[in-house]
A and B are shown apart, each in its own frame.
Chain A
């Protein structure tokens, strides 16, 4: 048994509008909005690292959960934009939280990283105790690598999200999850060292448009639920048009999918938890109501996770 205890997030202050990023890659603001649903995104300061962003989201999550860092049994940090090969940001985050012996694990996964992290945490927390899952990205340092590519540059932003997975209590019980990976498409979305991000957008959209709804539908069917029964879907904020496609495939209204991509862009592993943190500020899950996470990203890795409001 595992529970979602709280979410947290951190967004850098600097707002980068479509006009600003569009001017750098030769497209206008309206076009960016039409192809992605994005109006603006945040870019971190030069002196802010992935670990800095992750730490701020961790603090926010622990504050909301009213849990001390010393109570954590483990920290998992997903990031595809960490600045060096090793060590990853997890141990630096733990150190910033005042921890010197708590085990940490880095997950070098991009957009599906937080989903896989929560799933892993739900299985480990019974023996380790509360686990803090963080997704943190400084995508600006990647999209600004020359030559800047329009299809990549317009999408991404910086930020971090966090989720505390607790073994005994929380606002929602984690019911089940379905995780999948297919390395046949590893070359279609990748970030080689010191090179621009390489993305075959058509392949990503084509596969994601099928695999995300299927993962959600399979999970819901296993628990005798329909998409219409789910109170809210919290999906990786990749592209508003993709979110609309997934909603349509599941035959539910698009507004069942909470979205803040308009304001923050695609923050890769962080986006699902940033959306969750924002959603949870003004929404509650009633006992028995369902919440469904879903994500898809480089690898390809994808899946869905079902949680149910706790009594």
Chain B
């Protein structure tokens, strides 16, 4: 499974529903995730991609879309 598909799987699992969000679409503005869902998303990303996301990186903007999540993981070699 490629990285984008894995991210989409995580987003769907955290949202608890099928989502048809575009890669560059805001996960919040589109209503896919709420504030608490974001925390779950980050926890799942850490678990699935074996990456430690420090508090200093915990800004909603960095995880606001599939593309941004991909970019973050890319930066961290995942």
The residues of A with any CB-CB pair to B shorter than 8 Å are 35, 182, 184, 200-207, 209-211, 241-242, 245
B residues contacting the other copy or chain, number (CB 8 A): 12
Q: Tell which of B28, B55, B59, B60 touches A210, judged by Cβ atoms closer than 8 Å.
A: B55
Complex Cα spacing A53 to B38, Å: 37
The CB with the most chain B CB atoms within 10 A, among A35, A184, A204, A210, is that of A210
Q: Can you list 16 contacts pairing A with B, beta carbon distance less than 8 Å?
A: A35-B34, A184-B56, A201-B35, A202-B38, A202-B60, A204-B35, A205-B35, A205-B36, A205-B38, A205-B39, A206-B42, A206-B60, A209-B39, A210-B55, A241-B36, A245-B36
Closest to B53 in A: A210
Question: Chain A's nearest CB lies how many Å from the CB of B28?
Answer: 7
Complex Cα spacing A210 to B57, Å: 12
B55 & A207 in contact (Cβ 8 Å cutoff): yes
Which DSSP category, helix, strand, loop or mixed, fits chain A's interface?
A: helix
B58 within 8 A of A: yes
Q: Tell which of A35, A184, A200, A206 touches B39, judged by Cβ atoms closer than 8 Å.
A: A206
Complex Cα spacing A30 to B19, Å: 25
A203 & B60 in contact (Cβ 8 Å cutoff): yes
B36 & A203 in contact (Cβ 8 Å cutoff): no
Cβ < 8 Å to A, chain B residues 37-78: 38-39, 42, 55-56, 58-60
Cβ < 8 Å to A, chain B residues 9-36: 28, 34-36
B56 & A206 in contact (Cβ 8 Å cutoff): no
A205 partner residues in chain B, CB cutoff 8 A: 35-36, 38-39
A206 partner residues in chain B, CB cutoff 8 A: 35, 38-39, 42, 58-60
Task: Please give 5 more A-B residue pairs, beta carbons under 8 A apart, in addition to A206-B39, A210-B55.
Answer: A184-B56, A203-B58, A203-B60, A209-B36, A211-B55
